Amino acid sequence: MSWMPFKIGQPKKQIVSKTVERDFEREYDKLQKLEDQTKKLHKDMKKSTEADIAMSKAAVKISGDLLSNPLCEQDQAFLESMTALDTAMKRMDSFNQEKVNQISKTVIDPLKKYSSVFPSLNMAVKRREQALQDYKRLQSKVEKYEEKEKTGPIMVKLHQAREELRPVREDFESKNKQLLDEMPKFYHSRIDYFQPSFEALIRAQVVYFTEMHNIFSELTDQIDQAGLTDEQRERENEAKLNELRALSIVADD
């Protein structure tokens, strides 16, 4: 595949045509890129799923810690609000878990399985390359004998060499053909293989966010002041903080 400088043992006859070699390289390149992408996607999906789970658990902790603080017992309305918040967070966490499970089954596992094919494929390509080298070596040997004078021993040697060459050539040709057949097929198979994964990813998100919308709409009605814009909220927060700062018992920085 790469240009070998003046190496003895290279046959003169072109064993594999340039177009075939180029096709082979192109197909193999595509597969190598696919392998790379599959691995990266698998890793990234795992990382993002982990972060997702951690976020959800952190949210549950927020509400859980608040609820367990005796502060809640000081005011009934506050207690009700905190209970509602806690319930909502726990429900969201269980939906999140469900979502993650579904994604695990329909996306992350298939990704892993798909990656596991590549080592065998790479090995097969290596074997083909080995076979090609053998083929070239034996082919050049045959050519060497073919050029010499046709004496008895030479004829014998030539015949032996041809005999040696034949199964090697056939082995290479069969490997070559099979790979040229299989590689594009495998590359194309990714579409059908991964379509359910992508659809499942989307669907899982849709379900999760629909639930989130329902749960938090209810909760917001219960515990939030209605009709506030972000600026209004900021202003209110700042006003309260300033009131606090105005107290003498609060340190002035």
Partner 1 sequence: MESPLSAESAPPTPAPRNHTPSPSPRAEARELRMEEKERTEEDPIYLSLLSEVSVFVEESAEDASEKAEEKAEEKAEEKAEERAEREAQRQLLATEELVYTERNYLRLLQVCNCTIRSNLQKLQPQLPNLDSMFLYIEEVIDMSGRLLSLLDQKQMTPHDPLFLETLCDAFLSLSTDMESAYKEYLVNYNTVTALENSYKQKDALWTEIVKVIKSSAPEVNAASLSFFLVMPVQRIARYPLLLQTVMKHTEPGHPAYSLLEQTAHTAIALNCRINEYKRFREVADKYKKTETLTIRDKMNRLNSHSIAKKTARLSQFIKHETGIAPKLVDEEFDALEGFFYLLENGITVLHENVETYLDHLQRFLNCRPEEFDLDMDGERPAICYKEIITALRQWILPTFEKRMRTLVHKPLCALRELLAGPRNLISKRLDKLLDYELIEEKPSLSYDEQAVANTYKTINTLLLNELPQFNGLALTLLWGMLGAFSCLHKDLAADMEQLFQGFTQQLPHGSLEPNAFWEWAECSVQEGARRLESLCWNVKDQLNAPIVQPLSPGSQKRLKVLTDKHGSGKIYQLTGHVVGSRDLDLSLNRGELVAIISEMDTRGDKRRWLVDAGGPRGYVPSSRLVRYHQVTMDPPPSPHLITTMDHAGGVRRHSYTPDVRRPSYTPDTPQPLLVRTMSMTVPCLQVLAGYDFRARSSHEVSLRAGEPIRVLEPHDKKGSCDWSLVEVRGQRGYVPSNYLTVMPTSTTPTAPYR
Interaction residues for partner 1, span 218-237 (CB under 8 A) = 219-220, 222-230, 233-234, 236-237
Q: How far is the CB of 90 from partner 1 (least distance, A)?
A: 14
Residues 6 or more apart whose Cβ sits within 8 Å of residue 76: none
Cβ(92)–Cβ(212) below 8 Å:
yes
Q: How far is the CB of 139 from partner 1 (least distance, A)?
A: 14
Count the residues of the shown chain that bind partner 1, applying the rule CB under 8 A: 131
Q: How far is the CB of 58 from partner 1 (least distance, A)?
A: 4
7 φ, ψ (degrees, to nearest 5): -90, 135
Q: How far is the CB of 73 from partner 1 (least distance, A)?
A: 8
Cβ(214)–Cβ(97) below 8 Å:
no
DSSP structure string for 50-104? HHHHHHHHHHHHHHHHHHHSGGGGG-HHHHHHHHHHHHHHHHHHHHHHHHHHHHI
Q: Which is nearer to partner 1, 33 or 148 (CB)?
A: 33
Interface of this chain with partner 1, residues 234 to 253, rule: CB under 8 A: 234, 236-237, 240-241, 243-245, 247-251, 253
Cβ(38)–Cβ(194) below 8 Å:
no
Q: How far is the CB of 38 from partner 1 (least distance, A)?
A: 7
With vertex at residue 192, the alpha carbon angle to CA 112 and CA 34, rounded to the nearest 5 degrees, is 50
Q: Which is nearer to partner 1, 97 or 195 (CB)?
A: 195
The answer to whether residue 1 forms part of the interface with partner 1 (CB under 8 A) is no
The answer to whether residue 117 forms part of the interface with partner 1 (CB under 8 A) is yes
Helices vs. strands in the chain: H and E counts, helices first: 6, 0
The answer to whether residue 78 forms part of the interface with partner 1 (CB under 8 A) is yes
Cβ(223)–Cβ(85) below 8 Å:
yes
Interface of this chain with partner 1, residues 3 to 62, rule: CB under 8 A: 3, 5-6, 8, 12, 14, 18, 30, 33-34, 37-38, 40-41, 44-45, 47-48, 50-52, 54-55, 58-59, 61-62
Cα separation, 139 vs 121, in Å, equals 26
Interface of this chain with partner 1, residues 124 to 183, rule: CB under 8 A: 124, 127-128, 130-131, 134, 151-153, 155-156, 159-160, 162, 164, 166-168, 170-172, 174-175, 178-179, 182
